[in-house]
Structure 1
Amino acid sequence: MNLKEYNEKRDFAKTPEPKGETPSEVNVQRFVIQRHQARALHYDLRLEINGTLKSWAIPKGPSMNPNDKRLAVRTEDHPIKYLHFHGTITKGNYGAGEIIIWDSGTFEIDRTEMDMPAHEQLAKGNLKLIFHGKFIKGNFALVKTGMRNGKESWLLIKKKDAFSTDSLYNAEALGPSSDPKTKQYPKTIQPNTILQPMLASSTKEIFNDPDWLYELKWDGYRVLAHISDKGVLLQLRNGINLNTKFPKLAKELESIEHECILDGEVVILDESGVSQFGELQNYPDSMGVLRLYVFDMIYLNGISMLDLPLTDRKSLIPEVIQGLELTKYCDHIEGMGAALYQKAIDAGMEGVMAKLKDSTYTLATRTEKWLKIKSVDSLDALICGYTDSVGGGVAFGSLILGVRVNDEFTYIGNCGSGFSENRRKELLRQFEPYRRDENPFGKKLPLKGRKPNWMVPTLSCEVNFSERTKNGLLRNPVFERLLNAPVQEADSVPKRLQRKSLPSREIIEIDGLPVSITNIEKVYWPDSGLTKYDLIDYYLQVSKFILPHLFDRPQSLHRHPNGILEEGFYQKDNENVPEWMQTFTLYSKSSERDIEYLLCQNTASLIYMANLGCIEINPWNSRVGKLDFPDYGIIDLDPPEGMKFKNVVRIAKEFKSVMDIAEIQGYCKTSGSKGLHIYIPMGAKYTYEEVRNFIKLLCYFVQQRLPRISTLERRIKKREGKIYLDYLQNRKGHTVASVYSVRPLAGAPLSMPIEWSELDGKFSAQEFKMKNMIQRLERLWDLFQPLLTESINMESCLENLKELG
């Protein structure tokens, strides 16, 4: 590309932008990220390569979280002078709107993976970058994925390094300012907006330095406490609301007379004043004293304190929290780090924090201006499985840990300590949806005869350890905490939606997250008078049953915002969602663009979808991480209009007979519409094509047995009033209504799992309704739960089916 396209799009008599001239021969490898409030807010990334600025528009802005894969659309090259451009492009011009310099600096090309200069990596569509900015730092990948509306579609991905964060990241939280005099690095923040705190880097050796101050390192929950006229918000690093977990603390903070944002650590102290993380998890049934130690303040009475030196920020804290009982000031000493470190270790604490006295506060960034020095090392490890306990005395023996290196998993050892027995049981319950037969390491591990139970490496944990062996294994690892459990504690989810006199719009708190509820009394089912309220209330009640079947699966939203009488529509792409909502970007060959799929990871996500008018829930058959390998195969029994349902029951029983011969444990549910769905567990061991062909074979055997009432003919006109045995649902991206899903049909029927013994002549496809299900669920629990962990052996099943000819 050159600057011709840039110039052709602009009238420089009307726009303040610099004119594109001859590309520069000097290449300093500078970059700029500009916040561009045009027709739609986005961020523009520009890299100095071969004399021009190679440019990408990033709708959601960059992220320092490696789990975020930000869409970046390639745009025309810009002139080098654009590195310093900010201002207002007036209405009527191309790109009209406000442009602010959000970040700038220099970048390097990382040649460790590809030994190519910048322009060659760009041509290859795979840039490996090291940024040196104020907000954006460290290793990134910028990867081309295809074309989108005639433009190159790329992904900007943060690599895991010393600067990355595992917290929610929102570029807007860094607060762009509209003041034309302060275009560079604006920092406007306000209470009750989810923020990501500044994080510390690790170092091994304690030191003395008069320019540094030293604090005790507390082992608890890192919390930002927002206090304003709207009330108190206790916010975890990942955005979760802890008000319901610590109501006494939240109540005490309400007495603060200032509007402020405090940064600190919630801990439980034993009799010696040492923080006990395990007891904190058991709160309020814990042994010890609850405290919030405040070590920083970043906002006070309308003023952002981010740019003040640390000592100035800390000096104001004692007056703000004066007189509080649970909330205490985290004091410090200056210069004498070694003495405080030794005192902390002797007292049984983890270590100390060292902070530069004049350091400013940078949100969502891991900095070397703050350091943590611990008596033991720690790291974040992926849980790749667990071993059975020796003798069966506890829930499991040890965790099998790994880390990801260049898209492969490296074994770093087992961790068998740091758990109470109750904690082991709780972890084992959380592990169930991730069980797999496949070893993620692809090779046998030295487990000393202990039986492994493999998992998809999704969950991660923090472990402490003393050192590494020559083989890279952790020595004396101790489990500290689970970092990314999918579903929050049960008491953080309201069991019912309180109807009362709900306004047309209300924010309710679910999983500690704010969920907007609108038009609650809109009638969705005119035949029965059921409303949007009834739908949301239903999904609240069944969330514990349905969520394990939705977690980590891309969702195809089937929306009926005006009820069942108006035609619904499918929505896959979801760019404008709450900041706490997880999404997954996947390139669509048919659309030639990236699709941003929702992931339903918790009750808050489920209710968000229901509020959009998603009466039915449509998850993929496979999960993120193994999208080409479905967890189950589906047989859809689709009868024609007017056919007696007893014929559907007869065919379902014939499938049961064939599956018995193959030694398959199949599971059946009502479709909630006309037919039945039969599910067969595949354990993500086979491709979609293999699963589809296997299901087709089963359908063939049943059709041969019952040719008068069943068919494999896809064309409706040629089915001759027969039940269609649909095996084509087993294609990547195709969905059917989830188990426990409501259907957008009269009476609000459900897609409900059933026992095979229930199939008789009196049974119907709409046996279960939204209003009569909860007692059944509490009695039978989740009949489909085995689908999350079991798998057939397809080869053995095929061998068994040979007797059918």
Structure 2
Amino acid sequence: MSLLKYNEKRNFSDTAEPKGQVGRSENELIFVIQKHAASHLHYDFRLEMDGVLKSWAVPKGPSLDPEIKRLAMMVEDHPYNYKDFEGSIPEGNYGAGNVIVWDNGTYLPADSDYKGTAEDKLQADLKKGHISFTLKGKKLKGNFSLVQLKGKQENAWLLIKKEDKYATTEDILKKDKSVISKLSLDVLEKKSAKEKALAKKKTTDIKSATIAEKKNKETKKTAIIFKKPMLASLTDKAFDDPDWIFENKFDGYRTLAVIKEGGTELFSRNQISFTKNFQPITDELKKINHEAILDGEVVVENEAGKSDFQLLQNYLKTGKGKLKFYVFDILNLDGNDTTHLTLLERKELLEMLVSKSKFSNILYSQHVPEKGIAFLEVAAKKESEGIIAKKADSPYTIGKRTGDWLKIKLSQQEEAIIIGITEPKNSRTYFGALLLGQYKEGILQFIGKCGTGFTQEVLKELHLKLAPYFTDKSPLEEKVPLRDTIQWIKPKLICQVKFAEWTQDNHLRQPVYLGLRIDKNVKEVLFTGKDNIKGKEKMEKTTTLESKSAPEKEGNFDLKAGKTTLHLTNQNKIYFPADGITKGDIVNYYNEVADLILPYLKDRPESMYRFPNGIEQSGFYQKDVDDDKIPSWLKTKKIFSESTNANVDYLICNDKATLLYMANLGCIDINPWNSTIKHIENPDWVVIDIDPEKDDFKEVVKTALMVKEVMDEFETACYCKTSGASGLHVYIPLGAKYDYDSVKIFAELIAHEVHSRLPETTSLERSIKKRNHKIYLDYLQNRKGQTLAAPYSVRPKPGATVSTPLEWSEVNAKLSPSQFTIKNVLKRFEKKGDLWQPVLGKGADIKAILKKSS
């Protein structure tokens, strides 16, 4: 059973790795260390146990120096016969890259006084989270330990060399050749590259979903039907990054081509049919002898080869002009979903597909890697619309706008909703100018009027289209500062305009009408004027921090907090793709709530939970900071860790500058200890973490109210806050009068009492499997070193929810776990003040409570 995960991750028709089967050595237990150049170079440390290889990934490799402790992340069990595997794992597969057997040999428990078999001893130690063993390898010899790090990352261990005659400061990793083939990894990679090049020459046809089969557990046929396209977020500057590619931005209609046996159809991003509008493209796509969903842009180009939206508008009226369909992505091929592949894998597949047929008006959209700044300069010389930046390893996210695709505009163009027309003057007929609007936070906002770009024919046609939507009522909440006679229009039609710039009052300067857009919904036309900026500019407008220097690159700048100058980086980076919330938005929020949150952080060690690439990428915990690498003004505290048997340098957050420094590191939520460094063994509160497994928040509310009922019976105050995720936290102030062991027993007493009253809906089982989907009353959060999100902390959840203190009257059936976000809590905090303040008060009398409960 332990090899199921291993087998699920691999496609054995495409990789030479052995299938997962149990196997055993005849005599001594074996170990193997494989050097693995996957996305990151690491060493896989494997110990034979119970018929499989228990496995740890060691990023920096093993060491023979007892002073050096290597992080080792426990991964899925590998089959016994993986011990001899060397070679190349093809691209698209799990763990793609080259592998050599760096070391192998036998091993046994370091303690010779154990009872039973060696394997029994090792398995028992594995469960305890501390294995000591002796290696008899070709490179590694002597005594080692694997020690599990206690905390939320249960797969994190340390690999430690023990003092013995084999201990040395010599770098054993310099012995870099395989103990089987005698090849170094570099030589194997060159050999593998030659083999790939030869194989590519022999490949003349597309094998349907070859890459898809590499990436997925199994190939599943999916219907060839319309899918909403992935959308790009707006950013204002180009950049260079080896992890990104850059494409041309076209000035046309985003188009999805659905090619299947029953015929080919073209759609806009909102599923409006383009099949007949762009019939030449539809006909040309019939040359493709595969079913597929292609994503691209239909354009008409001018004589200089530049896509021109007005020419495309003319084509729709007259049929004059040569249509072109630039394809840049593929969502499905022959029923195989390709959206989970990386962008470069999808583009490789797409290029192969397009190159099979001789098209006259369908083109593969080329890209350049890494060099976005130079590519934008080329685009500017060509007078292009701009460029698109795309993360090379990103999947295709159906129907969402994400930070993995960014659009960088050169020309100033906007989509605008037509909300009125003015009376014509002089020789003008039909109307004088269009009144334009965009939605800002759900409210339609006036952005100016457009009186140029119309021929007599366009004036007539457009007036006919607008007439059915004439209304006497303005669709705006504000009054428009115009003296013209206005005919208001219901917000139904969207136009494209080019303009010179945004004015100080957020109107378009010198807009020119380009044409109507038939491919978008009015609710998608959002305000992009000057007070809708992100990152640096928004920070400067809404915070009291003072800018000290000009931006070095996009979102990088110096800001002053008190006496400290902070260097903030990548403030325009999207952290919450579905919501468009940036790193700068998070930093700005913490600047606003610093006075509220700091009392609950002061003098407390911080376990930093970092999301440097946003919430859709895995975060990681960092407890130990390097004093030599952090700014000298930061405060740290050494605290001995029993799990690692070493001191840990924790960051202490006592001021706004430190709080913003943490946010700049990617700490979306803030996780302080329950105790301060002044009373490190005595927590200031006891917490009951009400943690549901399923979406049943009404039962979570009932559970919190039951905690309050129990504490009311003990005549002891308690306080409730949202977790910011799916649960609630109930705190009982203690005033640092009791040690952690006493507090944990007290928390367990409360949890047992609540569970006895709600046995059908709550559980005290730590194991998820044993809970039977019940709400977990987590009293173990009261151990030393455990952390929870602080009050007023943002959480890495959709919407950027906030852990929000509540009045008990608010803990009712109307309460929702997602109702408090960084977009709405500041007004609440201003109105209600600090509801959490009593938690730092005198505290409960545990002895008196225990007497009452006995």
TM-score category (smaller protein): 0.3 to 0.5
> Which one has a bigger Cα radius of gyration?
2
Structure 1 length-normalised TM: 0.38
Structure number having the greater helix percentage:
2
